[in-house]
Amino acid sequence: MADCIFCKIIKEEIPCAKVYENDEVLAFLDISPVNKGHVLVLPKKHFENIENLPDEILCEIARTIKKLSKAALKAVGADSFNLGLNNGKNAGQLVQHVHFHIMPRFENDGYKLWIGKKYTEGEMEKIAKSIKKNL
Ligand code: AMP
Ligand code: ZN
């Protein structure tokens, strides 16, 4: 897409700190990292979100994440990472070109995981049933 910043990076119209590429997938460092070594992994073709992304490309992205996460952790001396996908506006997706975040984590790095909410009586079963029905 012409006005997509990640498509511009893929076309090399904008520079990036590239760490990996193959025919389908590109990975580069996030310009504003959660921690050093924060990598973005994305399809070279423009797809807005995971719903539009063909399964074969998703598999290629998953393979890339597995391989790259090891290398990224080694590079920055971390032993843990969070894998992120901000899918849609209310999930905080800022760039409308689907991308996964590999975010190295360190002991006492100041981040906390999200806070868990509670279900009301029977709500959990109802939602689980509804999810299964919508598959
Ligand atoms: P989100 O869409 O919320 O998953 O976040 C988009 C991510 O892209 C943010 O973490 C940004 O720091 C990152 N980002 C935006 N522009 C660039 C760029 N030119 N190079 C590298 N990372 C970028
Ligand atoms: Zn794009």
pLDDT in tens, 89-100: 999 999 999 999
Residues 69-89, mean pLDDT to the nearest whole number: 98
Q: Which of 18, 36, 15 is nearest to 27 (CA)?
A: 18
Which ligand 1 atom sits closest to the C-alpha of 101? 4
**What residues act catalytically?**
99
Ion ligand 2: residues, CB within 5 A, are 1, 4, 6-7, 46, 97
Strand ranges in 1-135 using DSSP code E only, listed in sequence order = 18-21, 25-29, 39-43, 80-84, 100-105
Q: What is the predicted pLDDT for the residue at 2? A: 87
CB 32 within 8 A of CB 39: no
Beta-carbon contacts of residue 31 (< 8 Å; ≥ 6 apart): none
Ligand 1 within 6 A of 49 CB?
no
Q: Please give the mean pLDDT across all residues of the chain.
A: 97
- 96-118 residue pLDDT tens: 999 999 999 999 999 999 999 99
What confidence tier does 134 reach under pLDDT thresholds 50, 70, 90?
very high
Distance 49 CA to ligand 2 centre (A): 10
pLDDT for the residue numbered 91:
97
Q: Tell me if 15 CB under 6 Å of ligand 1.
A: no
What single-letter amino acid sits at 86?
Answer: N
Question: What is the Å distance from ligand 2's center to 103 Cα?
Answer: 21
Protein residue closest via CA to atom 12 of ligand 1: 32
Confidence (pLDDT) at 1: 86
pLDDT single digits (tens) 1-50:
889 999 999 999 999 999 999 999 999 999 999 999 999 999 999 999 99
Give the bridge partners for 42, in sequence order.
Answer: 26
Which domains does the chain carry? 5-133 (3.30.428.10)
Q: What are the two backbone dihedrals, phi and then psi, of residue 27, each rounded to the nearest 5 degrees?
A: -140, 135
| Full-model pTM | 0.97
Q: CA distances (Å), 122 to each of 57, 62, 129, 131, in order?
A: 38, 35, 11, 15
How far apart are the C-alpha atoms of 29 and 76, rounded to whole Å? 12
